[in-house]
Amino acid sequence: MGNGSNGLTRPFSLYGHISKEKFKQIKEFSKDKQTPFLVLDLERVKEKYDELTKNFPQVKVYYAVKANPDQRVLSELAAKGSHFDIASRFELDLVLGLGVSPDRMSFGNTIKKAEDIRYAYEKGIRLFATDSPSDIEKLAENAPGSKVFFRLLVSNRGADWPLSKKFGTKKEYIAGLIDLAHDQGLVPYGISFHVGSQQRDPTQWDYPLEQCAQIFTEAKAKGIELKMINLGGGLPASYLVPTPSIEEYSKAIFESLHRHFPAGFPELFTEPGRSLVADAGVIVSEVVLISRKAHRKWCYLDVGLFGGLIETLEEAIKYPVYCERSGKLVKMTLAGPTCDSTDVMYKKASLPEDIEEGDKVYLLTAGAYTITCSCNGFNGFPPLAVLYL
Ligand SMILES: *Cc1c(COP(=O)(O)O)cnc(C)c1O
């Protein structure tokens, strides 16, 4: 077996992403199984949760369910004491179904139907995100007296998977939303923001926190006491492009908090998705076809954008791709199996020249945004199967 340097855009160290023992286990486990599938390591999810709470003490964790809504993942996190950020009535039912009480959830989607707000309220949800007057009116009518937090629009510079523009509103508009919510009998509770997913720059929380401090001060002058800041997601997973360590994020974020809230912090929430679950998943796939077109070879896997790898769009997320061949690395185009020309992961992947049809290919760090993003029956391919280590 090679030393694990069969990298995608450049050689990488396999064991920098997964322990030797875990990889061996996954290999054994995958031997006689039909690919593709995602193997989840629930122990790793628990380790990531502990690492997070150690580095962010006194910060309440609201796991962003959309990152990986697998029931066993949710149950492990629930047992750890996690709270949950849900975005639809369906995620609400899923989490309620596991026995989690509604006071451990926030409805974090700013885009919701009046009837879904009513449904959540009837199920006991009393904490909602919002960013528009119309949504506040719907909340006042269907979830009277609930706590609301206002989503601030922030730059997503530095993020590999930006969420900017679609969510949140500028600081100038937030004051008006706070007044409206207050007038309508809701409880203005705090401010949230999301610096963009797979945020590689730990200083990106600083400016939003400065804005939060100004919003808190302005609200207080009007007699409204905001109590909470939701730091959002954005903490990274270990893909091919390196990121600072979680300790560095913690240090940068707490330094900003000290600077902008010298008299003491408000209540703090975090909404991790990717950083808790990505490292816990490996997609095991197989080479279906290798073909030479013009000057470059194409390598087609049995998994692609429609099978869970949607985040390779524009090559935004660079999964470490590993196969057990030790040949020289050459550039090939790595593509999925469907009859759609967008189903190409990477135009110039570095793959070993001796890779063959039938070889197993492992995509590491694949536990986030894969099962939720795999299609149901595109070209007849079933959604990505999930197995547990
Ligand atoms: C998706 C999402 C998250 C999770 O973000 P990650 O970058 O995956 O940690 C957190 N909060 C909200 C509101 C989200 O939509």
Tell whether 296 and 267 lie within a shared domain. Answer: no
Domain assignment present for 246: yes
Number of structural domains (the chain) is 2
Which CATH number does the domain housing residue 195 bear? Answer: 3.20.20.10
* Nearest Cα residue to atom 5 of ligand 1: 233
Residue 318 near residue 354 (C-beta atoms within 8 A): no
CA of 174 to the centre of ligand 1 (A): 21
Catalytic position from the list 212, 299, 323, 339: 339
Which CATH number does the domain housing residue 370 bear? Answer: 2.40.37.10
Domain assignment present for 49: no
Tell whether 285 and 301 lie within a shared domain. Answer: yes
CA of 272 to the centre of ligand 1 (A): 6
Domain-ending residue, one of 272, 305, 335: 272
Tell whether 190 and 240 lie within a shared domain. Answer: yes
In this predicted structure, what is the pLDDT of residue 10? Answer: 54
Residue 364 near residue 26 (C-beta atoms within 8 A): no
Nearest-atom number in ligand 1 for the CA of 272 is: 9
Domain-ending residue, one of 226, 244, 272: 272
Nearest-atom number in ligand 1 for the CA of 274 is: 8
Please name which of 320, 295, 280 lies closest in space to residue 6, comparing C-alpha atoms: 320
Q: For a pocket test of ligand 1, which of 48, 83, 194, 279 has the largest count of ligand atoms closer than 8 A to its C-beta?
A: 194
In this predicted structure, what is the pLDDT of residue 83? Answer: 98
Nearest-atom number in ligand 1 for the CA of 108 is: 13
Domain assignment present for 51: no
Domain assignment present for 53: no
Domain-ending residue, one of 246, 272, 298: 272
Q: For a pocket test of ligand 1, which of 85, 151, 156, 199 has the largest count of ligand atoms closer than 8 A to its C-beta?
A: 85
CA of 266 to the centre of ligand 1 (A): 21
Domain hosting residue 233, numbered range: 69-272
- Entry pTM: 0.95
Tell whether 234 and 106 lie within a shared domain. Answer: yes
Tell whether 239 and 340 lie within a shared domain. Answer: no
Residue 89 near residue 119 (C-beta atoms within 8 A): yes
Domain assignment present for 6: no
Nearest-atom number in ligand 1 for the CA of 276 is: 9
Domain assignment present for 224: yes
Domain assignment present for 151: yes
Tell whether 268 and 288 lie within a shared domain. Answer: no
Ligand 1 neighbours (beta carbon < 6 A): 64, 66-67, 85, 108, 194, 197, 232-235, 271-275
Q: For a pocket test of ligand 1, which of 111, 151, 191, 197 has the largest count of ligand atoms closer than 8 A to its C-beta?
A: 197
Tell whether 153 and 285 lie within a shared domain. Answer: no
Tell whether 87 and 202 lie within a shared domain. Answer: yes
Tell whether 372 and 285 lie within a shared domain. Answer: yes
User: Is 375 an active-site residue?
Assistant: no
CA of 196 to the centre of ligand 1 (A): 8
Domain assignment present for 299: yes
CA of 232 to the centre of ligand 1 (A): 6
Residue 282 token pair: 């490996």
CA of 23 to the centre of ligand 1 (A): 28
Nearest-atom number in ligand 1 for the CA of 151 is: 13
CA of 354 to the centre of ligand 1 (A): 39
Tell whether 265 and 307 lie within a shared domain. Answer: no
Per-block mean pLDDT, blocks of 10 residues, the chain (389 long): 44 87 95 96 98 97 98 98 98 98 98 98 98 98 98 91 86 96 98 97 98 98 98 97 96 98 97 98 98 91 98 95 92 96 94 96 98 93 95
Widest CA span in the chain: 70
Tell whether 206 and 312 lie within a shared domain. Answer: no
Tell whether 260 and 145 lie within a shared domain. Answer: yes
Residue 230 near residue 269 (C-beta atoms within 8 A): yes
Instruction: Label the pairing between strands 197-199 and 281-293.
Output: unpaired
